[in-house]
Amino acid sequence: MAGLRPAAEAGYKVAMIRFRPLAAAPLALALIAAPAAAVDRAPDRTAATDYVLARAADANGDLNRAAAGYAAAYALTPDARLGSRVYRQAVSAGDFRAALAAARNLQAADALPSDGRLLLIAEAVQRRDWARARAALAAMPDGDVFGFLTPIIQAWISFGEGKDPMPLLVPGKGGAIALPYIAEHRALLLIAGGRMAEGISQLATMSATRGGREVRLRLAAAAALDPSKPDERTRALAVLQGDDALFVEARAIVSAGRRLPGAIRTPAAGMGELLTRVAADLNRDRVTPVALSLARIATFLDPDNAESWLVTTTLLAGVGLNDLALDALGRVAADDPFATAARDLRLRLLVREDRAEEALGLARAAATAKGAGAAEWTRVGDILNQLDKPADAADAYGKAIALSEANPDPAGSGLAVLWLLRGGALERAGDWAAARPALEKAVAMAPDSAAALNYLGYARLERGEDIAGAAQLIEKANRLAPDDPAITDSLGWAYYRLGRLPQAISTLEKAVAGEPGDADINDHLGDAYWAAGRRFEARYAWRAASVYASDDKKGRLLAKIENGPPARP
């Protein structure tokens, strides 16, 4: 039911990047593929034949053959549109030899896209060919969509040449859109140039608003320090203070005297960091071929930057290229602070690929390894939920709770979430006697958690337990999260159960407006309409619900459309 979703959907949290729902890629994005493989060519093959076969391979998901076919077609007929397709496919797949060749062909045809210009600059920067890098940057036309990056790239080139880059990074350069990027790279260039105290001080001025981005920047600052030297180890540990899981893992690495990966010491690493952030920012709106290209170019510039691989993985998964996404995750080193985030992403991808049993095996292995904690058992519980094994999931969450109680979180919020997850799993397993006290404990520990209040209130409502009290819990949840359609649905259903039909209908109509494709909310609205004597509207709502309902619910909805709802006991 809609009201019970908050706990059921609790799952992985990955630092700094948003993992978007996986979806079938539209045609323009489906052209992204693995590196082109050699294909046997019959003497009478034409460019048209290669193109048709490539499109057919695309449609069948055979991306390697599609890439080879497009490249072969372009070799016979150098059409700019086909060349753009070859370029986009190659760079997004990480085949930089093919991508650079395609980019140069497009440049000669005056058809190079903006991200292609960045690739040519990146190659020169990686080769430390500063003259060619400057020439490629100067060739960027006025009004280019990525023109705001010019002063930052110029600054890193100047750094590579041994010149002072700071005069290039002043407010106003690149326009208002460049300001946050310039602020970051002033700090990173100070640190790369050995002016550690100044760089860290600048990072501190950004800390109030940076969130996850600040975490990455502080990790990069600490990575520039040598923990084999006592004074630098002390400074690195000071930079890494905080409760974020990445800081905890990074402090363990530094305390052991090992140097953190992810330092930004070179122009290639600096430009890679810049493009990674731009790709992640573009991904906030939607996955685009350009965002994926920028992330891939970042991995080309600095293959040791784990964040770039995580962003690349997220973008590949966002267009359904899960095999390539899994391959990208393999580039994150096991001893990197981002390794846990990479493991989380891998498990999520495996579950979404219907390989949940494989994911469960990996999660159990991690949970039973030496030093494992509550987070590892929480992952096991999440995957067991995906496998529709709620009783086993509840046991896993119970193990996580025991470990969390042995190492308490000062804020207590993490433990409250675990009690909510355990209570939700027990409720779905049919053990309400054990679920209710677990959910009540979650509410007691986090009285302002809309998810916990809603889950407990709705579960009581469904069982007819103290409907007025259940409604009060849901009303509080709604005050805390007034725009959550699932909670609005719960509130409307509570009003329905209390017999307050006008309030129920207006509240449920609001919930449907917020989530028109939710079968449960439309079903509830139909019941409320029917109770109010609005039979035509009730049947319309149930028909809408049947469009989105799972197969096991369609029969019940069709019976309602025919005969009305059964009498409630």
Instruction: Residue 83: name the closest of 47, 49, 45 by CA.
Output: 47
Range from 62-76, 86-100, 273-287, 355-369 carrying the lowest mean pLDDT: 62-76
Instruction: Residue 154: name the closest of 173, 172, 177, 171 by CA.
Output: 173
Average pLDDT, the chain: 85
- Tell whether the model's pLDDT for residue 502 goes beyond 50: yes
pTM of the model: 0.73
Q: Is residue 315 part of a domain?
A: yes
- Rounded to whole angstroms, how far apart are CA atoms 376 and 519? 33
- The encoded tokens of residue 121 equal 């600059």
Same domain, 389 and 417: yes
- Tell whether the model's pLDDT for residue 471 goes beyond 70: yes
CATH of residue 421's domain is 1.25.40.10
- Rounded to whole angstroms, how far apart are CA atoms 287 and 365? 33
Same domain, 265 and 362: no
- Give the residue, 519 or 206, on which the prediction is more confident: 519
Q: H-type helices in 148-229, by residue range?
A: 150-160, 179-192, 196-210, 212-223
Same domain, 330 and 238: yes
Name the residue with tokens 């407006």: 513
- Tell whether the model's pLDDT for residue 44 goes beyond 60: no
Q: Is residue 124 part of a domain?
A: no
Same domain, 206 and 335: yes
Domain around 340: 163-353
4 alpha-carbon distance from chain centroid: 23
Same domain, 203 and 284: yes
pLDDT in tens, 262-321: 999 999 999 999 999 999 988 876 668 899 999 999 999 999 999 999 999 999 988 888
CATH of residue 344's domain is 1.25.40
What are the DSSP calls for 497-561, one per residue? HTT-HHHHHHHHHHHHHH-TT-HHHHHHHHHHHHHTT-HHHHHHHHHHHHHHS-HHHHHHHHHHH
Q: Is residue 215 part of a domain?
A: yes
Range from 274-288, 322-336, 477-491 carrying the lowest mean pLDDT: 274-288
Q: Is residue 333 part of a domain?
A: yes
> What's residue 31's pLDDT?
26
> What's residue 288's pLDDT?
81
Contacting residues for 136 by C-beta, under 8 A, at least 6 apart? 117, 120, 121, 124
pLDDT in tens, 182-236: 999 999 999 999 999 899 888 877 754 455 678 889 999 999 999 999 999 999 9
- Last-in-domain residue among 336, 353, 370: 353
Range from 31-40, 41-50, 293-302, 329-338 carrying the lowest mean pLDDT: 31-40
Same domain, 335 and 472: no
Q: For the residues 534-551, what does the mean pLDDT come to?
A: 93
Q: Is residue 87 part of a domain?
A: no
Same domain, 264 and 301: yes
- Last-in-domain residue among 412, 446, 480: 446
> What's residue 409's pLDDT?
55
Same domain, 269 and 373: no
Q: Is residue 44 part of a domain?
A: no
Q: For the residues 477-482, what does the mean pLDDT come to?
A: 96
Same domain, 232 and 337: yes
Q: Is residue 485 part of a domain?
A: yes
Same domain, 184 and 229: yes
- Last-in-domain residue among 424, 446, 468: 446
pLDDT above 70 coverage of the chain, percent: 83
Is the CB of residue 341 less than 8 Å from the CB of residue 15?
Answer: yes
Same domain, 467 and 422: no
- Rounded to whole angstroms, how far apart are CA atoms 234 and 563? 74
Is the CB of residue 509 less than 8 Å from the CB of residue 496?
Answer: no
- Tell whether the model's pLDDT for residue 12 goes beyond 60: no
Residue 506 CB neighbour total at 10 angstroms: 12
Residue 45 pLDDT level (bands cut at 50, 70, 90): low
Same domain, 486 and 562: yes
> What's residue 25's pLDDT?
29
Q: How many domains does the chain have?
A: 3
